[in-house]
Chain A
Amino acid sequence: MENYIWLIPVLPLAAFVITLIFGKWWIKEASHWLPILALAGSFGLSFAAFLQIRGAEEPVVVELWRWFSVGSFQVPMTLQLDQLSAVMCLIVSGIGLLIFIYSVGYMHGDGGYYRFFAYMSLFAFSMLMLVLAGNYLVLYFGWEAVGLCSYYLIGFFYHKPEAAAAGKKAFIVNRVGDFGFGLGVMLIFVTFGTLDYSGVFRQVGAGGASDGVLIAIALLLFMGAMGKSAQFPLHVWLPDAMEGPTPVSALIHAATMVTAGVYLVARSAVIFASAPTALLVVGAIGTFTAIFAAVIGICQKDIKKVLAYSTISQLGYMFMALGVGAWAIAIFHLMTHAFFKALLFLGAGSVIHALGGEQDMSRMGGLAKRIPATYYTLVAGALALSGIFPFAGFWSKDDILGSVWRDGQYLFWAVGLITAFITGFYTFRMIFLTFFGKPRMDEATGKHVHESPWSMIVPLVVLAAGSLLAGFLGLPGRLGVLQGFLEPVFAPANHVLGIEEHTLTAVDYVLMVVSVIVAALGIVLAWFMYVRRTDLPALLGHRLRPAYKVVYNKFYVDEFYAATVVRLTVDGSRWLWRNFDEKIIDGAVHGTAWLWQQAGRAVRPLQTGRVQNYLLGMFAGLFVIVTVVVLL
């Protein structure tokens, strides 16, 4: 089976190369075919891989070629297929395929049509490399490559200054996270002498490193994860990333790339399990980010921004799960989230498409009847995100809250529960503002409202079905198919933490009911404020003006960075340049030159012109050598 794993990422890579080179002049409007077929091929192969790896005890490792080979630093290009990478491959290629198909309709007529599909293929390649990597350096390769694609695709409308700036911001903030990731990789190598997953994990399990080092490694890796998965305080790039086309937001900034941080921590489960302090940090950051981003989501006007903050919040849930060692459940939530958040983004895209590019919810409203297919699918996604039974989000979120409770992290649990309430509220605030009430768009836009083409609706329907049904793959307790499937990957980490399989008790059922009620209350509140008493939001916004302002301005984190880190770096650099480089160093040089000139005046005959002078000096030098040596 080694023979075909490499094809999973390489098919989209080939599509990228061909589309990029020939797209503009030759393939043009047909640029979507090759990327779609290639990704369909990857999906098929991923499925085959999935079937083959089922129940296998050992991962399949394929060494492609020697990449680094310097003394003890031996890092080959290695792919590794195990249960975790198989699940991730299915998510990436499956959701990706639907979004590619959707894009055929959504991006139709755009001047950069070929460019869009080329970069999306490059992303698919990079992401598949990331999840199939067999060592930390190949992972890092995919990690940076998805960041690059994200950069290109956020800045897809590069003539817009905001888009260009957002792309750059995303890349640089990610680099800050990767600063830690890179050092973490080095520390792994220096500690264990290898970067291969199997070798590293075996040594960690055998107690090959001290606690301090393991904590350092875990925290450095987590720093990378915080950047990629937009966890506080490195979350600032993701909302801006919404400048990219909506399918990009759906695929890269919701379903797949941003979950790479979760994947990284889950992949390194053994390391984190052996460093409980780091694990606690992961849980705390995740929990805080979950509620922090959800609160910001309440006040956003841009439909995509709401979803962006929701994504940050949901990623926080995943880290909360990882923080208590519920690895498989974090991956489960990653999967369900991929379904319903992709659906929500694509549905939002369909709304935006219908309104001719409008993203501001204060200029929407009353669309339920006019674009029914979008409406129904979007509501399915909203119910899943809110965690309403029996939608997918219910199962995964309740699994998370349940495992947090079982671990005794009641604070995390309480915050998670409040977040569930806020989630229900902001999600349905979005639904009500978009689809209910009176239309608030201008007349010209209102007249042109139209349902999207089939290429966009079909993916919505498929994703809606997924959002309804995917939860049944991860039923709680012993019933969880996904948990059982992933068992071989996480068994060592669970062994370290002493986590055992548990049977459902009455407590679990109570917890489930509580969280559904809380989420439903959030929805009811949203209904009350945005359907029943539509005067309330403005009134509240007025009464609680200072609080509203702080939340609306996202707690001024961006402004804080601009005023401190960015300003300090740029102004400080400029000061250093003008004062140190030009005045002091160059001043010294100029002073020397001046002295030189004075000396030159004294030795008049030597001053015959610069070049001659120089030649003379050179031959004088040679002459001096000869003389000195002869005299010796």
Chain B
Amino acid sequence: MLSVLTFLPTAGAVVMLLFMRKRPAAYKTMALVTSIITLALSIYLAAGFETGSGGFQFVEDFSWIPSLGISYHLGIDGISLILILLTTLLTAVSILGSWNSIKDRGLAFFISLLVLETGMLGVFVSMDLFLFYFFWEIQLIPMYFIIGLWGGARRVYAAIKFFLYTFVGSVLMLVAILAVVWWYAKNGGPLTFDILTLQQAGFSGSLAIWAFVAFFIAFAIKVPMFPLHTWLPDAHTEAPTAGSVILAGVLLKMGVYGMIRFCVGFFPDVAVKAMVPVLILSAIAIVYGAVMSLVQPDMKRLVAYSSVSHMGFVTAGLFTFNQQGIEGSVLQMVNHGVLTGALFMMVGFFYERTHTRLIKDYGGMAKPMPVAAAFFSLFVLGSLGLPGLSGFVGEFLILVGVFQYAKVFAVIASVGIVLGAAYLLWMYQRTMFQQADERWLSLKDLNAREIITLVPLVGMAVWIGLYPHPFLNLLHAPAANIMAQVQPYLAENSGALLGLAGSFFGGF
């Protein structure tokens, strides 16, 4: 089942490559149909998922390279499932959204998107380190092409920067993977890449610290955490719309996913020690990303920096290691994927009409494009955390989690929320409101295809905003697992660390 899900997009891509080379209408339809079937399959998967159990489900385990302990081991828990749903939804949405925006080499573009989907799904279903690394690297290649071939004016610079950052991350991750596998084998365990086995290994000493740091930097680049974030604005800005949507929507989440599985899963004791540093970095990211957004002249750059801010919430929530923080963190990944994906999609729609992304070129767009302005306002409001829309639910849960751990970080993060309202509404005012620019008065409003692209995202934003229960239900068991992993060390450290944090940051 998981294999079918993972490789279905690639199968669709192969069919497109073999039979539909010269027929854009056919291969585009094929791409869309493939992505929709994948989406349907993932929903079917969710329907069969047992929410109560903390174990991995839909497991497929075949020995692959027995001599090295590498197996083809797939399985999902609630966190993987929720991210799989996000992936399949956003892929379908971005294929529909870029229907007419890719002018040349369309076949290669849609094939890249589908291969990318396989890579992303592979990352979320892998239960084997080798397999994980394989998929992790696989999805980088189409992404690199998408930025470098179909991007904007500075696409080559952006692609190289993206490559450079990710390469460093990959090397670090590779080293860390080898280190843990080697250590485990040396200390009496079998030679294995199996993630669940390694999670029981109980790594300790300086190896644990170094491997944690290597893993952490590799994933922090992906998230991206301050100060490893500067590839993101360039990559986002230069990537074509679909690239930005997937990049913001899914790729960044792989970083946090990796942290959950490896940084916390393998080294819970180090993770507990890292709580305060990570929270500090997250708090910086929240405020820093927000103030960067405030002064960006380019809409896409603005949304890109806002991602830094929002992902700061996600990492902060995760590293509180309490239930509200963890669940809010994972839910916020979905919210951020939906809302930021939607914002990028909208900027793309505007760009297709105006061929500019600079805020100062816009103004009064609400007059020629009232429907677009209405959708845009909904996503902006969701993104700035208006209660009733999804952004609020994740953000507030995270804040409750952070507040329980150390009040000072909740206060700083709340500053980020105030700034969030400022940069988003300021952008909205300067683009949609004010005097209409004469050049844009004859622009056509969103067409039916574009509206259909956005409606599922609106639906998700409202659904999670008002009734997040089905989604949170998926997360109770995995969150309990994470808390169980760190629990012994939390207790151990509580005297020193929490006491310190409490005395400094607790207040009152």
Contact = CB atoms under 8 A, between A and B. Distances in A.
B165 interface: yes
A407 interface: no
Nearest to B231: A589
A593 B158 CA distance: 13
A171 B428 CA distance: 13
A145 B387 contact: yes
Given A70-B328, A148-B386, A182 B414 contact: yes
Interface in B143-178: 144-145, 148, 159-161, 163-165, 167, 170-171, 174, 177-178
A567 interface: no
Contact of A213 (B144, B324, B393, B508): B508
- Which of B130, B174, B186 has the largest number of chain A CB atoms within 10 A? B174
A621 interface: yes
Contacts of B68: 626, 629-630
Contacts of A210: 508
A139 to B, nearest CB: 10
B403 A159 contact: no
Nearest to B166: A614
Nearest to B323: A71
- Which of A73, A592, A632 has the largest number of chain B CB atoms within 10 A? A73
Given A71-B324, A73-B400, A632-B191, A586 B167 contact: no
Interface stretch (B4-12, B117-125, B417-425): B417-425
A375 B322 CA distance: 63
Nearest to B467: A65
Contacts, number: 198
Interface string A152-196: 000100111101110110011001101100110011011000000
A625 interface: yes
Contact of A573 (B191, B291, B468): B291
A592 B429 contact: no
Contacts of A190: 400, 403-404
Interface string B114-137: 000000000000000010011001
B472 interface: yes
B236 interface: no
A614 B145 CA distance: 12
Interface string B386-414: 11100011001101100110010011001
Given A70-B324, A158-B434, A624-B174, A632 B185 contact: yes
A282 B351 CA distance: 50
Given A71-B324, A164-B433, A589-B165, A176 B418 contact: yes
Interface residue tally on B, bucketed by range:
35 or more
A590 to B, nearest CB: 9
A48 interface: no
Nearest to A586: B230
A626 B65 CA distance: 10
A216 interface: yes
A175 B420 CA distance: 10
A485 B178 CA distance: 74
- Which of A72, A165, A577 has the largest number of chain B CB atoms within 10 A? A577
- Which of A71, A77, A618 has the largest number of chain B CB atoms within 10 A? A71
Interface residues of A, number: 73
Contacts of B392: 144
Contacts of B366: 158
A629 B183 CA distance: 11
Interface string B333-367: 00000000000000000000000000000001011
A70 B130 CA distance: 34
Given A70-B324, A73-B397, A610-B160, A569 B167 contact: no
B174 A625 contact: yes
A148 B381 contact: yes
B141 A615 contact: yes
B191 A618 contact: no
Contact of B400 (A165, A189, A581): A189
Contacts of A71: 322-324, 327, 476
Given A183-B410, A589-B165, A614 B367 contact: no
B14 interface: no
Contacts of B148: 610-611
B164 A592 contact: yes
Contacts of B428: 168
Given A182-B417, A589-B165, A167 B429 contact: yes
Contacts of B69: 629
B141 A614 contact: yes
Contacts of B421: 171-172, 175
A137 B227 CA distance: 34
A537 B380 CA distance: 48
A182 B399 contact: yes
Contacts of A182: 396, 399, 414, 417
Interface string A216-241: 10000000000000000000000000
A576 B327 contact: no
B181 interface: yes
Contact of B163 (A67, A573, A610): A610
A273 to B, nearest CB: 20
Nearest to A592: B164
A187 B140 CA distance: 43
A622 interface: yes
A69 interface: yes
Contacts of B364: 158-159
B466 interface: yes
Contact of B425 (A172, A213, A596): A172
A67 B467 contact: yes
Contacts of A472: none
A55 interface: no
A405 interface: no
Contacts of B426: 168
A617 interface: yes
A495 interface: no
A115 to B, nearest CB: 9
A574 B295 contact: yes
Contact of A158 (B399, B410, B411, B432): B432
B467 A183 contact: no
B160 A172 contact: no
Nearest to A144: B387
A604 interface: no
B130 to A, nearest CB: 7
A622 B134 contact: yes
Contacts of B165: 589
B99 to A, nearest CB: 25
A570 B419 CA distance: 11
A260 B433 CA distance: 28
Given A67-B467, A70-B397, A190-B403, A572 B291 contact: yes
A389 interface: no
Contacts of A168: 425-426, 428-429
Given A159-B434, A614-B167, A632-B191, A68 B178 contact: no
A596 B410 CA distance: 40
A109 interface: no
- Which of B171, B400, B419 has the largest number of chain A CB atoms within 10 A? B400
B69 to A, nearest CB: 8
A171 B291 contact: no
A216 to B, nearest CB: 6
A628 interface: yes
Given A216-B508, A630-B68, A183 B230 contact: no
B388 A614 contact: no
B415 interface: yes
B170 A569 contact: no
Contacts of A179: 414-415, 417-418
Closest 6 pairs between A and B when the two form their complex, measured CB to CB: A71-B323, A164-B433, A573-B291, A141-B387, A158-B433, A186-B403
23 contacts: A69-B469, A70-B397, A70-B476, A72-B323, A158-B433, A161-B435, A165-B429, A171-B425, A175-B422, A182-B414, A186-B410, A212-B508, A216-B508, A573-B291, A573-B294, A581-B292, A589-B231, A611-B144, A614-B141, A614-B163, A617-B167, A621-B170, A624-B178
